[in-house]
Amino acid sequence: MFESIMEKFEGSPGQQAVVKLLLERGFSVSEDGRVVSGSIEIPNTQVAAEAGVDRRVVDTTTDAILADPELERIFRNISQIPSLMDLAPLLDLTVLTVAVRSAGESGIIAEITDRLAKRDITIRQAVSEDPEFTDEPRLHIITEQQVPGDLLTELSNLDIVRSIEIH
């Protein structure tokens, strides 16, 4: 899906930067062409600064999105998911970040969460980065308890795991 969206903006790196930002942040486009998060409008100057483009590039990108029925359907319905990752230290939670060898494999989340569940470790949130949006997607699991060292070793030894970090 990501590739087909980006192809529609081929030849315009600026518009691709805006589209990538919208997708990464879960920003949608309102019916009047404004970038929004829920019902909160985000000024185009702010979007442009974050994407590293001129404000007018944001305007032309949102116009192009609304002019394409497929893109409009996608970008009118995007929403954000609140993340506990930055709050974890304040809430006494643990963040387990897993880099995998091949993000396209099935069962990665199940394999890791099953091993946590068998140790009665409560998972508050699991967020998997989309391999289409990032070169090295990772799985972030926020737990209520500390993850014991022997379990970290067990997880690290799985064929699917490239590396593990604890925060």
Give the tens place of pLDDT for each residue, 91-138. 999 999 999 888 778 899 999 999 999 999 999 999 988 777 777 889
This prediction's pTM: 0.76
What pLDDT shows up at residue 109? 92
| Distance from C-alpha of 93 to C-alpha of 112, rounded to nearest angstrom | 18
Please, are residues 98 and 83 in contact by the beta-carbon 8 Å criterion? no
What pLDDT shows up at residue 65? 98
- Residue 41: beta bridge partners? 36
Please compute the mean of the pLDDT values over residues 44-63 and round it to a whole number: 97
What pLDDT shows up at residue 37? 95
Please compute the mean of the pLDDT values over residues 41-68 and round it to a whole number: 97
Please compute the mean of the pLDDT values over residues 69-83 and round it to a whole number: 92
Task: Report the amino acid identity of residue 43.
Answer: P
Assign 123 to helix, strand or coil: strand
- Structural domains of the chain ordered from first start: 2-75 (no CATH), 94-166 (3.30.70.260)
Rounded to 5, what percent of the chain is helix, strand, coil? 40, 20, 40
pLDDT value at 49 more than 90:
yes
